[in-house]
Amino acid sequence: MNDSEYFDELPRALRGEIVSRMAGETIQESRMLSVLSPEVRAHLATVALPRRLVAGHDLYREGDDADKFWVLQEGEMRVIRGIKKAGVVSSPAILGQAAVFAPWIEDCKERLHTVRAKTNCTLASL
């Protein structure tokens, strides 16, 4: 049984409390999410799932469906477009946020970059 299966078995309120303590500051400081009410941010925390990503593994690849976004709590991620490195994102950060607009904006339905863990990372998916 992996960590996410244990986490899924916890009561929803407890999951929200855990994610809020782990990623709450990142959610609060995000320009995109800071405009949301405290109640909506609390709801996001209850549906977020923690994830660990080992250095060298991809979070998502260019062309993948944009179906969720992540709060990077710890670590660094490489952003790659085609065969060129586009940059590095360090925690705390929001990754894949274009997925929020995917239902309404055609250009946001697919990932434009590959995002690969430069270091071991801790994230929460939303």
Q: For domain 3-125, give its CATH number from 1.10.3720.10, 3.30.160.160, 2.60.120.10, 1.10.730.10.
A: 2.60.120.10
| Cβ neighbours around 63 below 10 Å, total | 10
Burial class (CB in 10 A: 0-12, 13-18, 19+), 121: buried
Per-residue pLDDT tens over the stretch 75-113:
999 999 988 888 999 988 889 988 888 888 888 899 999
Token duo for residue 102: 């995917």
Average pLDDT value for the chain: 82
**Predicted local confidence at residue 26, as pLDDT:** 65
**Predicted local confidence at residue 94, as pLDDT:** 86
DSSP structural state of residue 110 = B
Report yes or no: 59 and 110 within 8 Å, Cβ to Cβ: no
Q: Alpha helices of the chain — where are they, by DSSP H?
A: 3-9, 12-29, 31-34, 38-47
**How far apart (Å, rounded) are the C-alpha atoms in residues 37 and 107?**
27
Per-residue confidence band for 1, with pLDDT thresholds at 50, 70 and 90: very low
Q: Which residue has the tokens 């952003």?
A: 79
Per-residue pLDDT tens over the stretch 36-89:
787 777 677 667 777 889 999 999 999 999 999 898 889 999 999 988 888 999
**Residue 35: is its pLDDT beyond 80?**
no
**Predicted local confidence at residue 21, as pLDDT:** 66
